[in-house]
A and B are shown apart, each in its own frame.
Chain A
Amino acid sequence: MSEPMPGTSMTNIEREQHLQAAQKKAADAAKADEIKDSDFRAILRDGQKLLRMSEKEFADELRVSHPRLNRWLHGKDLSHPVMRPGIAAWVAHKLSASTRNK
């Protein structure tokens, strides 16, 4: 049986499943022409959480400001819908790399 990861109630197996699900969701969204506000927010939130990055680290990697990412995570001032699939593709890529590096 997999032990919970330190500091979380999630086991490694559960995290792996979450990672794969989030990666698929982001990759599917990346193929769309546009992404709805709620889906875009969820992709960012799951990505940040599963990559185990702080908001600041996630913002730095994505190359947006921390305040801007924070607003996006709270569903405010979202980028134009057309620009969201490219960001989802980036999240999918990072999650995929994270899975491979395990």
Chain B
Amino acid sequence: MAAQPNSFVFAQVPSTAAENAFAFHRNFASKDPHIHPRIESEIIEFAQSGHLFGVRRKSTHEFVGLCYVVQDSGESDWQLGGLTVTIQKQGIGELLVRFALAHTIVYGVLLQEAKWVQKILAYVRKDNNAPRRLLTSLGFEHSGTDVFSREDAPAWMKRNRERGNLVFDEFTFTLVGLRQLATWFDERFDGTLHPGGAEAQINLVGHNRIEHLTRALRQLAGGLDS
């Protein structure tokens, strides 16, 4: 059966598509000063480790969205970043972030006894307003402001032409956000984008389906109240 013209596939980016994903990221990051440009080896590593999430047109496999949720080490917190979407106001970015969060939570062990043992953080530059509303609407809360001198800042925070201190707001994904996420997949997600209306197919590790993801999230959220 031919794919509908407006059908999108949300999935981990396989390492075989990492080169295309990097080209997409580089193109976007070169135009948007708020996107931290990652080098090719980083994007390949994210893809190989299963932490790069993408949206592609079902018909052409062309990337229309990308983000990652990564760790510096096995025990550290996770960082959501690199959200780039070329088609605006269709709900693609929102679903991509929900998918990436849900995937990270159910395939890892971020929660124990109703508490985060590994948090999911997002860093937003002080002068970047665009993602703040999305993050708070998805259940992140502002959890601090970090000021780094250029010398002390992690490499990913720096852009070559910048001078002076780098200021980032830190947002943390909350337990309330987890409940919202579970409810959203359970009650709101119907396989289409809102408000765009296009088909949104979600591919998961193994032979898992969206029902499994939803049930796992529901159990995790239910465990918060017990």
Contact = CB atoms under 8 A, between A and B. Distances in A.
Given A68-B50, A86-B205, A86-B206, A63 B220 contact: no
Interface stretch (B35-43, B87-95, B147-155, B211-219): B211-219
Interface of B: 12, 14-15, 48-51, 74, 106-109, 204-209, 212-213, 215-216, 219-220
Contacts of B15: 60
B50 A63 contact: yes
B109 A62 contact: no
A62 B106 contact: no
Contact of B219 (A68, A82, A87): A82
B208 A83 contact: yes
Given A86-B206, A89-B206, A78 B109 contact: yes
B107 A80 contact: yes
A65 interface: yes
A73 to B, nearest CB: 14
Contact of A65 (B50, B215, B219, B220): B50
A89 B208 CA distance: 8
B220 A64 contact: no
Given A82-B212, A87-B205, 10 more contacts: A60-B48, A62-B205, A65-B49, A66-B49, A67-B74, A68-B108, A78-B109, A83-B107, A85-B212, A93-B207
A71 B209 CA distance: 23
Contacts of A86: 204-209, 212
A87 B208 contact: yes
SS class of chain B's interface: helix, strand, loop or mixed?
A: loop
A30 interface: yes
A45 to B, nearest CB: 16
A70 B208 CA distance: 20
B215 A82 contact: yes
15 contacts: A60-B15, A63-B12, A63-B205, A64-B205, A65-B49, A68-B108, A77-B109, A79-B107, A80-B107, A82-B106, A86-B208, A87-B208, A89-B207, A90-B205, A90-B206
Interface in A48-102: 60, 62-68, 71, 77-83, 85-91, 93
Nearest to A92: B207
A66 B220 CA distance: 25
B206 A62 contact: yes
A64 B212 contact: no
B100 to A, nearest CB: 14
